[in-house]
Amino acid sequence: MQILVIGSGGREHAIIHTLLKDNALKPNSVRVFATGANAGIVELIGAANCFDIEPTNPSAILALANQLDIELVIIGPEAPLVAGVADLLRANNYSVFGPNQAAAQIEASKAFAKELMHELKIPTAKAFTCNDLDQVQAATAQFGAPYVIKDDGLAAGKGVVVTTELQTALDHAKACIAAGSKVVVEEFLAGEEVSVLCVTDGKTVYPLVAAQDYKRIFDGDQGANTGGMGAYAPVDWFDAAMQQFVISKIAKPVVELLNQRGAAFIGVLYCGLINTTAGLKVIEFNARFGDPETQVVLSLLQSSLTELLYAAASGNLDQQPAPSFKPGGAVAVVLAAAGYPQTVHTGDEIAIEISPNPDLVVFHAGTKLENGAVRTAGGRVLAVTAVGASIAAARALAYQGVAQLRFAGSQHRSDIAKDKGSA
Ligand code: AMP
Ligand code: GLY
């Protein structure tokens, strides 16, 4: 099968790596092309199969798919979904994994997601959507500290500020409003978080193994929110009853309601939840695979990713068995560039001295190949990902990998998956 993967971050490197594993079962059954070219993806599929095409340009993507005789397009990041790349490809009879623009609003607008949850009575934080600072002030006064202030639009995981300082909360709200966004002010929810990625063809919904992401930049969940500094899977407290609840009371109703509204959701419905004392509540939906959750979830996938995504893209997921996962655990530790999540320094050479080990994979995000050298090219640079018989074993191997990687100003958390999983 000829597959085009849109995007070139850590998530896409993990997707391509996993698709190509299917060649071990059926040699040459999968050939992958990509838009963009981080050094890891180039190493996997070759520079000739990486195209320097803007992932948010629907007509350029369509032209590329036509030129390459593509049978399946997988859209990794949110921006191409919101730009309508899936819409144009579907209108031209392509099988696409990733929702159309209208369904991707579930991620692109927090206010839209709140409205869906309200209609379906899905448990979530109480919230007000505010257009000006007076409304923000009224909402923060009602909820009290800690304050949760969200940019309504897409912000790569960095649009949310959770703070006990009212001034910090108001400053963030002011900045969002000044940039032309609405602001969602939410009640603070306390509890452990879990990400449940659900693969759907708009009818059948299959959950993948649950993962936990580390959103804050520093150890002990301190500092600013990021796109994600690490992840592990599975999450031991997330039991079968909770999974059933997420499928039957959250994911399926959302997919059905979007269908009724003529906005079929085909792709990954990412449910981000908090386990509060009053039960699981949704904090966010995404319209795509999570990053770095994908790196751990796909490392544990045992069944074929190609078959799963193709079945979903072609509307035949009910004829496909539910995905199966290896026992044990997976851990990913992100190495970020100096300055992340604010302005970062790029262009630094990365020394990678890892001896080959099938249980340890370095997924590239913001990297590029320049005259044979791998250099930093973005905020999150690498996700060092290991699998093991337990989360503790995977964690030990992941951190061994981290110790063998070096670039100027590199930063990572040292507490990813610490004390997680049963021994
Ligand atoms: P979001 O982009 O909506 O997922 O928010 C990013 C992160 O901010 C979440 O993963 C949580 O860690 C935190 N967060 C968001 N909403 C809330 C909330 N209502 N209560 C507590 N923490 C939150
Ligand atoms: N890791 C969070 C996300 O992908 O949105």
Question: Cα(97) to centroid of ligand 1, in Å?
Answer: 27
Look at the domain 127-186 and name its fold: Dna Ligase; domain 1 (3.30.1490)
Looking at the CA of 151, name the nearest ligand: 1
Cα(88) to centroid(ligand 2), Å: 25
DSSP annotation of 321: P
Which of 106, 193, 291, 380 for a ligand 2 pocket mutation test, highest count of atoms within 8 Å of Cβ? 291
Residue 388 β-bridge partners:
329
| pLDDT digits 0-9 by tens, 100-149 | 999 999 999 888 999 999 999 999 999 999 999 999 999 999 999 999 99
Helix (H, G, I), strand (E, B) or coil at 139: helix
Q: Report the chain's mean pLDDT, rounded to a whole number.
A: 95
Residue range 2-101 in CATH 3.40.50.720: no
Number of H helices, E strands in the chain: 14, 24
- What pLDDT shows up at residue 349? 95
Task: Catalogue the E-assigned strands of 201-307.
Answer: 205-207, 212-213, 216-218, 222-225, 230-233, 267-276, 279-286
Token pair in block for residue 68: 């390459």
Judge contact between 51 and 62, C-beta under 8 A: no
CA–centroid distance, 108 to ligand 1, in Å, is 15
> Which class is domain 190-319?
alpha beta
Which ligand number lies closest to the CA of residue 268?
Answer: 2
Residue pLDDT, tens place only, 309-328: 999 999 999 999 999 999 99
For ligand 1, which residues put their CB under 6 angstroms from it?
A: 125, 148, 150, 157, 160, 162, 186, 188-189, 193, 215, 225, 272, 283-284
Span(s) in the chain for CATH 3.90.600.10: 329-406
pLDDT tens digits, residue range 10-65? 999 999 999 999 999 889 999 999 998 899 999 999 999 999 999 999 999 999 99
Q: Are strands 183-186 and 127-130 parallel, antiparallel or unpaired?
A: antiparallel
Looking at ligand 1, which residue's alpha carbon is closest to its atom 2?
157
Q: Round to whole Å and give the CA distance between 312 and 95.
A: 9
Q: Is the pLDDT of residue 155 over 70?
A: no
Mutate to test the pocket of ligand 2, among 213, 216, 295, 416 (most ligand atoms within 8 A of CB): 213
Tokens of 360: 């340890």
> Among 273, 283, 287, 247, which Cα is nearest to 100's?
287
- Classify 73 as helix, strand or coil: strand
The pLDDT tens digits for 231-250 are 999 999 999 999 999 999 99
Instruction: Select the CATH number that applies to the domain covering 329-406 from these four: 3.90.600.10, 3.30.300.180, 3.90.1170.10, 3.40.350.10.
Output: 3.90.600.10
Bridge partners (DSSP) listed for residue 33: 4
